[in-house]
Every structure is written in structure tokens, then in C-alpha cells.
């Protein structure tokens, strides 16, 4: 369905909504927790809160390095497990461990409260696109399992793009695939200041920070909009 067939909205500022996935539409933290609990138990490790937090810290460090272009996606997905288990005094095969974790992650798709309703609402008014960092096969499977894929005009995954948010190359990849592209008529919605908001601003789109925890923004990245619940967008757009 093209933009010209959308519901008529007066004084509309945007034609296209770019939606992040993890932490915005899908509860990745829950998926990660359940996946890592399975992985740890496979190696005879009790998945305590402290160990789960350690993995999360290591994983976030790798993803931050990935966003800065300091580590490749191929290296990230297996080395994080080598580093994590080494901290526990265990040697593992990072590639095999990644495959084990990936199988668990592929089967998990937990909707964030309000995500389905929001996408149903937005689809009648805007063209929707997914913009996500991650592994292509996993993101496609999770979006299909959640039922969100049917609302999207297209899905742009960093692995397919060969670059990631917030890098300009990622957005160039996306924009080449959006008919009649006009960044000034786009709104990017995401939960990450460093990835979504910074990337959208550099690409020339308006941005909306989804901040359900009410975090204080101590960065120099200033979104155009900020919401703490997805339903708030229905009152704004």
C-alpha cells in the first residue's frame, strides 16, 4: 500500500515512520535472559542474576564497539561468549555457543506493551519500515512470530546492509530502498540514544526516543520527541 492510499491526515508532518525493533517493539531483554539461562545451564552454570548482568554488560560493550565500527558483527556474535565464560573460568567454543543461543533467540518474540496496537494504528496513516541492528535470520523470524512483519513495507537489518545504526552507510542503504525518499518527512522511533536517535539525526530524520524507564538523558543527543509508553505516539501522530 503506497503513501497516497493512506488515511488522510491534515497538517501531517511525516509520511514515513522508521521503527526500531529490540527494546522498542519487542522485549529483547526477556528474550536475552531466557536464551542465556538455557546456554548457561547447558554448560552446568547456574544462571544467577549476577551472571546474567555480567553477560549483559559484556554484550553491551561489544554492541557499542560494533556501532562505532570497531568490531565486526561476525566477531561480536561469538567472541562475547568466549569472554563471558572465560570470566567464569570456563573455556567454550564461541561459534558453537552462538549457534545454541541463536536457536533459542530465534524462537522468542515477546511484544512490548502497546506495540501491536501502535503498528495497527500507524499502518493506516503512514508507511512503516523496520530499522534494526542484528542478525537477519533472527530478526525476520522474530518479527514474523510476533505478527509485526505484516505491518511493514520493508525490513532493513544491519547484517544485510553491511553497516549499522548510527552509521550513515546504514541509512543510505535504507533510503535507496524507500520509494520517494524524503528524510525530512520521516520519524525514527527507537529506545537507543546512541544508535537510533543519533543515527536518525545524522540521516536528517526527526526522532522520537522511547524511554519507558524514564532515564535521564545525560548525552548531547537531543531527540525531537520523547515518550515513556508506545501508546503516547497515537496522541502525537
Catalytic residue among 15, 20, 27, 106: 20
175 CB burial (10 A radius; 0-12, 13-18, 19+): middle
Helical axes 28-42 vs 94-106, angle rounded to 10°: 130
Those residues whose C-beta lies under 8 Å from the C-beta of residue 38, and which sit 6 or more positions away, are: 100, 101, 104
Q: Catalytic site residue 149?
A: no
List the one residue out of 208, 205, 209, 212 whose CA is nearest residue 228: 212
Cα distances (Å, whole numbers) of residue 18 to 84, 108, 142, 186, 206: 33, 22, 18, 7, 10
Q: Tell me the pairing of strands 206-210 and 127-132.
A: unpaired
Q: Which residues are catalytic?
A: 20
Amino acid at each position: 500500500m503506497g503513501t497516497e492510499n493512506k488515511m488522510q491526515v491534515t497538517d501531517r508532518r511525516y509520511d514515513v515512520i522508521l521503527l526500531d525493533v529490540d527494546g522498542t517493539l519487542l522485549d529483547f531483554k526477556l528474550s536475552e535472559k531466557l536464551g542465556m539461562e538455557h546456554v548457561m545451564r547447558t554448560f552446568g552454570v547456574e544462571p544467577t542474576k549476577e551472571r546474567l548482568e555480567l553477560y549483559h554488560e559484556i554484550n553491551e560493550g561489544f554492541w557499542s564497539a560494533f556501532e562505532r565500527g570497531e568490531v565486526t558483527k561476525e566477531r561480536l556474535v561469538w567472541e562475547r561468549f568466549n569472554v563471558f565464560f572465560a570470566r567464569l573460568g570456563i573455556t567454550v567454543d564461541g561459534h558453537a555457543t552462538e549457534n545454541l543461543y541463536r536457536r533459542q533467540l530465534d524462537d522468542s518474540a515477546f511484544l512490548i506493551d502497546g506495540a501491536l496496537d501502535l503498528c495497527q494504528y500507524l499502518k493506516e496513516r503512514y508507511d512503516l519500515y523496520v530499522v534494526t541492528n542484528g542478525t537477519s535470520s533472527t530478526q525476520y523470524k522474530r518479527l514474523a512470530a510476533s505478527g509485526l512483519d505484516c505491518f511493514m513495507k520493508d525490513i532493513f537489518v544491519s547484517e544485510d546492509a553491511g553497516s549499522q545504526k548510527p552509521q550513515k552507510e546504514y541509512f543510505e542503504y535504507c533510503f535507496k530502498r524507500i520509494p520517494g525518499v524524503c528524510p525530512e518527512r520521516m520519524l525514527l522511533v527507537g529506545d537507543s540514544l546512541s544508535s537510533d536517535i543519533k543515527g536518525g539525526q545524522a540521516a536528517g530524520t526527526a526522532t522520537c526516543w522511547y524511554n519507558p524507564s524514564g532515564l535521564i538523558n545525560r548525552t548531547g543527543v537531543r531527540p525531537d520527541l520523547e515518550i515513556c509508553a508506545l501508546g503516547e505516539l497515537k496522541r502525537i501522530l
